[in-house]
Structure 1
């Protein structure tokens, strides 16, 4: 399966995500002077491979480049993205630019696929009403604290033992009775008599 195409040539990837330099060689025109084996003979390239491998943990050694010969699987020279850029630059400036643009296009495609789809209208309505319910409960909470002349955090601790207002499992009458029991223990005040405005 090719994820990237350069000059109408699909570039294969191995199981570790490395790209096939033989496919890149074919995309560049397939001249014998541009073969991956000749590129690998360069001392600069060997230094680059050594640096890339030195950055990886010991268990991941030799992951920047793999040469597969024989067997039933895909054969060829597979290299990481950095080595693909170096190989393309070694071939020609025109090919190097084509490889950079192809990789950029592939990255943009991945970003587009990762963008979330628009939420469904039903979900949006539920979210909107959840926000409205929360805002309404906060307004009631502030008004109740003001009516009792206490700080909001104190009221929160009485309501549910924490620093925030209710968890949605307790009805308003029950909350009002709990507040009255704590803050007005000696007065006979009904919950409906509290002015929350």
Structure 2
């Protein structure tokens, strides 16, 4: 992890590749009333369009980490997930 971004008192982690933790962004949006629990990050990638864009951006465009301190879905800003 290299940088921390804070949105309305919610820390949004960024990794060394410049990807943001989509789970953190979702948590911040829910806290602001701009998203619901049903709009979880896992649902974002069920869209064929989203997967196609991520694939076109290359291997480092997204990373899913299961377990540990850095668990979550990590995405590059080009996926349109960063405010």
TM-score by length of 1: 0.36
Tell me the number of residue pairs that the alignment of Structure 1 and Structure 2 aligns: 78
Retained in 1: the 8 A contact 2:12–2:20? yes
Greater strand share, structure number: 2
Distance, in Å, in 2 between the alignment partners of 1:8 and 1:2 is 15
Greater helix share, structure number: 1
Distance, in Å, in 2 between the alignment partners of 1:19 and 1:7 is 16
Asked if 1:49 corresponds to 2:45, the answer is no
Instruction: Flag structure 2 segments of 5+ consecutive residues without an equivalent.
Output: none
Distance, in Å, in 2 between the alignment partners of 1:22 and 1:4 is 13
Asked if 1:17 corresponds to 2:18, the answer is yes
Larger Rg: 1
What is the Cα deviation at residue 22 of structure 1?
0.3
Residue 38 (structure 1) aligned to one of 35, 38, 43 = 43
Q: CA RMSD in A?
A: 1.9
Instruction: Flag structure 1 segments of 5+ consecutive residues without an equivalent.
Output: 54-61, 89-98, 100-197
Deviations 1:97-122 (A, max 9, x none): xx1xxxxxxxxxxxxxxxxxxxxxxx
Alignment of 1:97-108 (within 5 A): 99=83
